[in-house]
Every structure is written in C-alpha cells, then in structure tokens.
Amino acid sequence: MELVTQIAQVQAFTAIALGLIIGLGAIGACIGIGIMGSKFLEAAARQPELVPLLQGRMFLLAGLIDAAFLIGVALAMFFAIANPLLSKLHG
Amino acid sequence: MASEPQGGLTEYIQHHLTHDVITLGGGGFHLDSWIVAAALGLVFVLWFGLYARRATSGVPGKGQAFVEIVLEFVDGQVKDVFHGNRSFIAPLALTIFMWVFFMNTMDLIPLDLIGSAVKGVAGEQVAHNTHFRLVPTADVNTTFAMSISVFFLIIFYSIKAKGGWGFTKELFTAPFHAHGIVAKTLLAPFNFFLNLVEYLSKPVSLAMRLFGNMYAGELVFMLISGLMMSWATFVPGVLVNAGWAIFHILIIGLQAFIFMVLTVVYLAMAHEHH
C-alpha cells in the first residue's frame, strides 16, 4: 500500500477512536455527575442543615467522577496532536 | 519525537510538550519538572515555616491568619477521616495539599512567558532549542513519584498497625474469610490476587488522576495559544484563555484536595483491621 493511503487510514481510525474516547467518556461522566447532583439536591432539600457537610463531599466525588473522563481527554488530545502510531509509520 | 514536525500548530504544541531532558546515570531526567517542583516545595516550607515560627497567641496578622485557615481546613479534613494520632498524617496532608496546589497553579502562568523571555535575552535560535515545561504535575514522573511515596507510606503504616505477621496474614485471608484450613488455603490465592490489585491500583489511580487532569488542562491552554497566535486574534485569544483559566482554577484546587483526601483515606484504611 502507498504511504499516503496508509497515513490516511491511520488518521481516519485515530479520528474515530478519538470521537469514541471523548464521547463515551463524556456520557459516563455526565450520567455520573447528573445522578450525584440530583441526589445532592434531594438530600439538601430534605435536610438543609447537612448542606455544608455534603457539599465538600460532592465536590470531592465530582473530581473523582470527572477524573477518568479527563484522563481519556488527555490521551485523546495527545493522539490528536502527536500521534505516536503515525510517527511509527514515518519510520 | 520520532516524526518530523509538520509545522504550524502541530510543531508549536510538540515543542511545548518537550521536556528539558538531561542524561543522568544512563536515563533521561526531566530537569524542568524537578527544578520547578523543588523550588515550589521550598517556597511552601519557607512561607509556612516563617509564620509558624513567628506565630503569636495574640491578634494574628493577615499572613498568620491565612496560614491558620489553611492549617485548620486541612486538619479538619484529616480529623473527619483519620481517627488516631495525627501528628504525622496532618502535616503530611498539609504538605501534599499545598505542594500539589502550587505545582498545579503553574498552569495559570502564561504559556509563552518563559519562551518569550528566552527569546528576548538570547535570540530566536536559542529559544527554538530550549524546552521548558512549567507544570511539574503535568509530568507523569512527578505524579508517580508522589503516589509511589504514598504507596510506601501505606505499606509502612499497615505493618506498623498490624505487625509484619498480621499484615502478611491479611494479604491472604481478606476480603474472603473462611473457617477451616482447607477452605482457607483454597481462598488464599484469590485473596492475595485481589489484595495485590487493590494495593497496586492505589498509586496508579492517584498518579494518573492528577496527571490526566493537569495534562489535559495544559493541552487546552496550548491549543488556545496555538490557534490564536496572530495579532488579529489577540483579543479573543486573551478572552478564551481567561475563560479556561477561570474554569481551571476549580480543577487546580479540586485535584490538590482530592490527592490529599485520598492519601489520608488510604492511610486510614491501612490502620483498619479486617
């Protein structure tokens, strides 16, 4: 196969992979944040005196939920900018 | 990088992603991460040490009050999670929190500030060959160094709390408990495997979480700066950079906080008996 075709193929597959990484990660993170936020609001409405305690934990968990997604985004952006698979093709 | 830079945005970002590497004992050593991390650690120690030395029981000044607020915040978090003597754990948590926070904050310094300074002093060619990454926590080596230190502390505290024999026994008998020698030996490999995964996943997740967040944040700054380099896009560039920076402040504080809390949680778990 010609080099140009190979490069185009790698780029195409990488682009699809990037979309999958970011898209699926975003779905998971959003569902997680949504569930947690709704539960937090419910809990805050039931027992407003617990809000300061819960708020700290909510932010902690928000960071934990976001983390896997952001690791995925970092990986995806690394592949988008400096694709190691492509540079292997260049030899 | 093995591939030739294709110019434009790709070259710009690849240049900014390259560390200042020196060869040390046969391996590459990221000098920039090390210098910045060490300098920020010193800043933290000197700053907090100075106020701790000059602390008065009278009306505190603004500087002392700030240090006391941070100290009490961290101590309160540790008190919630860790029950027992925290004469070592609380200072450890404070150090981790402030140090990671300082290192993350380097992200907010404009990306090309150092590059422009080098360019202004030594010229374009030197600036092209100089690589300096300002954010130590966007370097996987720094985060893993911290998390592996935490990992050794977990092992140390497990052995300290349970004794060498108790620690070894727990590796093979938890989480699945059994009665009778046959069932125990049958479950021992599974227990050991589960414990191994549990122990090893702690430093990896701790390091990758911090690294992934800071690396992604840094890359977005690079993308913004790289895409808006011309004079025509100067004002929108500043606005977009400022927008991302404001959002990023949340991540900076949150990740430092999470690293600290999880360290304390892991150390508290090390003290628990099964």
Q: Which of A72-81, B68-77, B97-106, B245-254 has the lowest mean pLDDT?
A: A72-81
pTM, 2 dp: 0.84
ipTM score of complex: 0.71
Percentage with pLDDT > 70 across chain B: 97
DSSP 8-state secondary structure symbol assigned to residue B5: P
What is the per-residue DSSP string for B87-117? Answer: TTHHHHHHHHHHHHHHHHHGGGS-TTHHHHH
Distance CA A53, CA A41 (A): 13
Of B180 and B94, the one with more pLDDT:
B94
Cβ count within 10 A of residue B207: 23
**B219: which chain A residues are within 8 Å (Cβ-Cβ)?**
74, 77-78, 81
B213 is a domain residue = yes
Q: The domain spanning residue A46 has which CATH number?
A: 1.20.20.10
Count of domains for chain A: 1
DSSP 8-state secondary structure symbol assigned to residue B86: -
Catalytic residue among B104, B147, B213, B241: B213
Catalytic residue among B209, B225, B230, B241: B209
CA distance A46 to chain B (A): 23
Q: Which of A64-73, B133-142, B175-184 has the lowest mean pLDDT?
A: B175-184
**A75: which chain B residues are within 8 Å (Cβ-Cβ)?**
212
Count of domains for chain B: 1
Residue B22, both tokens: 């020196």
- B13·A62 Cβ contact <8 A: no
Tell me which residue range forms the domain holding A67.
Answer: 3-90
The 10s digit of each residue's pLDDT in B196-248 is 888 888 999 899 889 988 988 888 888 888 888 777 888 888 899 899 999 89
Selected residues 240-269 of chain B with any CB under 8 Å from a CB in chain A: 251, 254-255, 257-258, 261
Q: Which of A17-31, B144-158, B181-195 has the lowest mean pLDDT?
A: B181-195
B124 is a domain residue = yes
In the predicted structure, residue B24 carries a pLDDT above the cut 50: yes
B2 is a domain residue = no
**In the structure, what pLDDT confidence band is assigned to residue B1 with cuts at 50, 70 and 90?**
very low
B64 is a domain residue = yes
**In the structure, what pLDDT confidence band is assigned to residue B168 with cuts at 50, 70 and 90?**
confident
Q: What is the mean pLDDT of residues A62-90?
A: 82
The 10s digit of each residue's pLDDT in B72-125 is 999 998 988 888 888 889 999 999 999 999 999 998 888 888 888 888 888 777
DSSP 8-state secondary structure symbol assigned to residue B26: T
Distance CA A73, CA B2 (A): 23
Comparing CB atoms, the residue among B2, B13, B213 nearest residue A70 is B213
Of B8 and A45, the one with more pLDDT:
A45
CA distance A25 to chain B (A): 13
Residue B44, both tokens: 């933290």
| CB of B188 less than 8 A from some CB of A | no
Residue B129 is among the residues annotated as catalytic for this protein: no
The catalytic residue positions of A are 66
**In the structure, what pLDDT confidence band is assigned to residue B7 with cuts at 50, 70 and 90?**
low
Comparing CB atoms, the residue among A63, A66, A74 nearest residue B219 is A74
Report whether B256 contacts B104 (CB < 8 A).
Answer: yes
In the predicted structure, residue B154 carries a pLDDT above the cut 50: yes
Distance CA B67, CA B94 (A): 11
Beta strands in chain A (DSSP E): none
B3 is a domain residue = no
- Up-side HSE of residue B73: CA atoms within 13 Å toward CB? 13
Residue B15, both tokens: 């240049």
Q: What is the mean pLDDT of residues B132-136?
A: 87
In the predicted structure, residue B274 carries a pLDDT above the cut 90: no
Report whether B20 contacts B31 (CB < 8 A).
Answer: yes
Distance CA B194, CA B200 (A): 10
**B212: which chain A residues are within 8 Å (Cβ-Cβ)?**
67, 70-75
Q: What does the mean pLDDT of chain A come to?
A: 87
Helix, strand, coil % in chain A, rounded to nearest 5 = 95, 0, 5
The 10s digit of each residue's pLDDT in A12-36 is 999 999 999 999 999 999 999 999 9
Residue of A nearest to B220 (CA): A77
List, in order, residues 6 or more apart from B90 with CB less than 8 Å away. Answer: B74, B75, B78
Tell me which residue range forms the domain holding B90.
Answer: 8-270
